[in-house]
Structure 1
Amino acid sequence: MSDPPGDGVPPNVQAQEGWTAVIEDMEATASQYRDRGWTTLELHPGDSVLVDSERRTGIDVLLPGPEFEDLEATVEEGAFRDVEVFKAVGDGLVYLLVVEADRTNETAVFVPAYYDPTANADTLESIRETGSVRLFCRRLNDETVTFVHDDPEPFLPEPP
């Protein structure tokens, strides 16, 4: 597990201060939703990257098995049509807290993510050109829950 990442794989940055701040913000924001009577699901990805391949283009977060199962069950019960995105730039990375919301059932899924915009300029351009962004929440066996958003700008850094 301590082997260095392969070519093209970004290093895991969870120990950096920016990631810690995102997790703390997630906990505080989820608490505010619960105070308003909402059901919340807070996810804790083991890794987060921008992907651009024939199979998928967007933000890809890797979830532990039990959290993925909770996400699957939550998504099956609702219609997540609204999104709120909190974004910060620091340490050369873009940090996101994505809140996928089902207003009818008052349920919110909190997905923290991060990516390196300088190493992924082509992917960012591809997302801008398509006019949508996909958030892939997956487990190691590649099962995926996907959220699609028609406005990618809240997820992206300012264009150069």
Structure 2
Amino acid sequence: MNEPAGGDVPTNVQAEDGWSAVIEDMEATATKYRERGWTALELHPGDSVLVDSDRRTGLDVVLPGSEFEELESLVDDRQFRDVEVFRAEGNELVYVLVVEIAPESETAVFVPAYYDPSQAAEKLESIREAGAVRLFCRRLNDDAVRFVHDDPTPFLPDPVE
């Protein structure tokens, strides 16, 4: 009787302090881009996970339909060839803020994500072996916008030796 009701319910990652910090950093960084005259799209994934399957290997984020449509329209006529990755670890999770950059059009897309490395050892190894990380921004019907980066290091925790 001392345990609160629902004590066995999994923690909502998006309610964690680490996730709130990532969203606050995203908003502040996007504001700085906008102040320089850039177009900045902030995304708000409903879920985020590392994947390793026949169809997808990398970081997969699920977006609301309206944000996905806005992203899709931005990538149609822009070349996103640069990336900034901000990574932090806490609460047994890895948090990343990925900024996909199209310098010629002065456009930046902000993709916050998180994953549990303790549940993803094989997936992390697959990504390291591939020597690249793919970021899948998708909607529930599996339509996706994909960004590919040749250096997975900024996205991943240091390997355990």
> Which segments of 5 or more consecutive residues in structure 2 lack a partner in the other structure?
1-7
**Aligned-residue offset at 1:11:** 6.5
**Given the alignment of the two structures, is residue 111 of structure 1 paired with residue 111 of structure 2, yes or no?**
yes
Structure 2 counterpart SS, 1:158: coil
SS of 1:118's equivalent in the other structure is: helix
1:12 and 1:47 in contact (8 A); partners too: no
Instruction: Provide the alpha-carbon RMSD of the alignment.
Output: 1.5
Task: Give the aligned partner of residue 47 of structure 1.
Answer: 47
Structure number with greater Rg is 2
1:158 is aligned to 158
Q: Which has the higher helix share?
A: 2
* Other-structure match for 1:85: 85
In 2, are the aligned partners of 1:57 and 1:127 still within 8 Å (CA)?
A: yes
Q: Which residue of 2 aligns with 1:66?
A: 66
The separation in 2 between residues aligned to 1:84 and 1:60, in whole angstroms, is 17
Identity over the aligned pairs, expressed in percent?
71
TM-score by length of 1: 0.93
Distance in 1 of aligned mates of 2:51 and 2:12: 15
SS at match of 2:122: helix
Question: How many aligned positions are there?
Answer: 153
- Secondary structure class of the residue paired with 1:14: helix
Alignment partners' CA distance in 2, 1:76 and 1:33: 21
Amino acid at match of 2:56: R
* Partner in structure 2 of residue 32 of structure 1: 32
Contact 1:96–1:113 under 8 Å retained in 2: yes
